[in-house]
């Protein structure tokens, strides 16, 4: 009982510290903190449309967070979710505008587009883990650098060979109209992409807890030597985990194309991959916490629009609030793990 009370008080203290710091930054931005929190909540949860928009914002956060978490379960770092998302989004846009899908039923076409997005994200992650397995090159470096390569590569493609004819902007043509996943409710961004994400997350949790693959991934990450002596092919398992992680990030890009932007353009992602990385770190790669923290980040993004509209606080403060959340949550995690020994 005392143990749970201590955990509760620690969380209460963390939340109080975060809210106090948030209040300070809202105040120096020229708004009353209570008023700021009210409008932040109003924008995220003020009605059914706002709540549904917040849920829809979760989609790329959840998928990119799991794109980081699954390789982490196997003991490898995937810092390249941003680049994998960009490649997935670009390939989804190219496939969605192709003529060979013209006579394909809409449902089948959407599945093909999303599979292609998944494969492209996996392929972009594949070379980084192969360098780790066969040449012992640190995957933190290769996955991090792969983001910039993907950004420049997709930027070149939308500026030149795949640019929409006659467009003054660096973007592809719109995907075929029948492959667009439209909002389910007028006035909100909520679409079936949320249910696709939910199904994927359920499969991930099922894999983690109920399958041999999930067991082997987790054992490889916890103790590679023990796993290898138990007959687990640790190199192959790490390869599979990175392929799954890269595919999830690519799928996030594909869902953004079919459900939000309907095309790929320069500046396609405002940093979804890096946000997913932060969410995975805060959640310590735990599935349920990833979902909860993704919801909080989505609420901050959705609510920041209302915050800017009704107060003098710029929407960029949302990024500051997210950074504060990351800072204090990371510090709290370190504090809990560190045991102070008496002299």
Q: Tell me: the pLDDT tens digits for 7-26?
A: 677 667 777 877 888 888 88
Q: Which two tokens stand for residue 270?
A: 């405002």
Q: Per the domain annotation, does 229 fall within a domain? A: yes
Q: Per the domain annotation, does 261 fall within a domain? A: yes
* Domain CATH code at residue 225: 1.10.3470
Q: How many domains does the chain have?
A: 1
Q: What is the mean pLDDT of each run of 10 residues along the chain (343 residues)?
A: 70 78 84 89 90 95 98 97 98 96 94 98 98 94 98 98 95 97 87 98 97 97 94 97 98 98 96 95 92 93 87 78 79 59 43
Q: Classify each residue of 140-177 as buried b or exposed e, where b means 16 or more C-beta atoms within 10 Å of its C-beta.
A: eebbbebbeebbeebbebbeeebbbeeeeebbbbbbbe
Q: Per the domain annotation, does 241 fall within a domain? A: yes
The pLDDT of residue 342 is 43
Distance CA 106, CA 94 (A): 16
| All residues at 6 or more sequence positions from 186 whose CB lies less than 8 Å from its CB, including other chains | none
Encode pLDDT of 287-313 as tens digits: 999 999 999 999 988 998 888 888 877
Q: Per the domain annotation, does 24 fall within a domain? A: yes
Range of the domain at 237: 2-337
The pLDDT of residue 316 is 75
The pLDDT of residue 135 is 94
The pLDDT of residue 20 is 87
Encode pLDDT of 151-187 as tens digits: 999 999 999 999 999 999 999 999 999 999 999 988 7
Residue 269, classed as helix, strand or coil, is coil
Distance CA 234, CA 76 (A): 11
CA distances from 53 to 96, 112, 216, 265, 298 (A): 24, 26, 37, 22, 9
Q: Per the domain annotation, does 343 fall within a domain? A: no
Q: Per the domain annotation, does 342 fall within a domain? A: no
Between CA 164 and CA 248, with CA 254 as vertex, the angle to 5 degrees is 150
Distance CA 274, CA 281 (A): 11
Q: Per the domain annotation, does 86 fall within a domain? A: yes
Q: Per the domain annotation, does 52 fall within a domain? A: yes
Nearest CA-CA partner of 171 in 253, 286, 261: 261
């Amino acid at each position: 009982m005392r143990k749970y009370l201590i955990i509760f008080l620690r969380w209460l203290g963390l939340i109080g510290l975060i809210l106090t710091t948030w209040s300070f930054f809202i105040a120096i931005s020229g708004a009353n903190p209570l008023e700021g929190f009210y409008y932040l909540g109003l924008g995220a949860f003020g009605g059914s449309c706002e709540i549904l928009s917040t849920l829809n914002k979760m989609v790329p956060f959840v998928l990119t967070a799991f794109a980081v978490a699954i390789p982490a379960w196997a003991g490898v770092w995937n810092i390249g979710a941003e680049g994998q998302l960009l490649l997935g989004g670009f390939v989804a846009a190219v496939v969605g505008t192709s003529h060979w899908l013209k006579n394909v039923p809409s449902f089948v076409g959407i599945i093909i587009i999303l599979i292609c997005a998944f494969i492209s994200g996996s392929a972009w992650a594949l070379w980084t883990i192969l360098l780790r397995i066969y040449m012992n090159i640190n995957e933190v470096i290769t996955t991090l650098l792969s983001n910039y390569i993907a950004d420049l590569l997709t930027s070149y493609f939308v500026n030149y060979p795949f640019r929409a004819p006659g467009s003054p902007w660096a973007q592809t043509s719109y995907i075929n109209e029948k492959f667009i996943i439209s909002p389910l409710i007028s006035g909100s961004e909520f679409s079936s992409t949320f249910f696709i994400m939910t199904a994927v997350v359920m499969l991930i949790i099922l894999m983690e807890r109920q399958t041999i693959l999930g067991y082997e991934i987790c054992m490889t990450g916890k103790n590679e030597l023990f796993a290898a002596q138990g007959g687990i092919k640790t190199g192959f398992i790490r390869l599979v985990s990175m392929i799954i992680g890269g595919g999830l990030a690519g799928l996030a890009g594909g869902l953004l194309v079919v459900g939000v932007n309907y095309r790929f353009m320069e500046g396609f992602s405002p940093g979804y991959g890096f946000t997913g990385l932060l969410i995975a770190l805060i959640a310590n790669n735990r599935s349920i916490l990833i979902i909860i923290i993704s919801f909080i980040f989505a609420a901050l993004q959705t609510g920041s629009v209302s915050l800017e509209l009704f107060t003098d606080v710029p929407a960029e403060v949302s990024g500051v609030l997210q950074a504060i959340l990351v800072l204090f949550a990371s510090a709290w995690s370190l504090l809990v793990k560190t045991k102070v020994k008496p002299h």
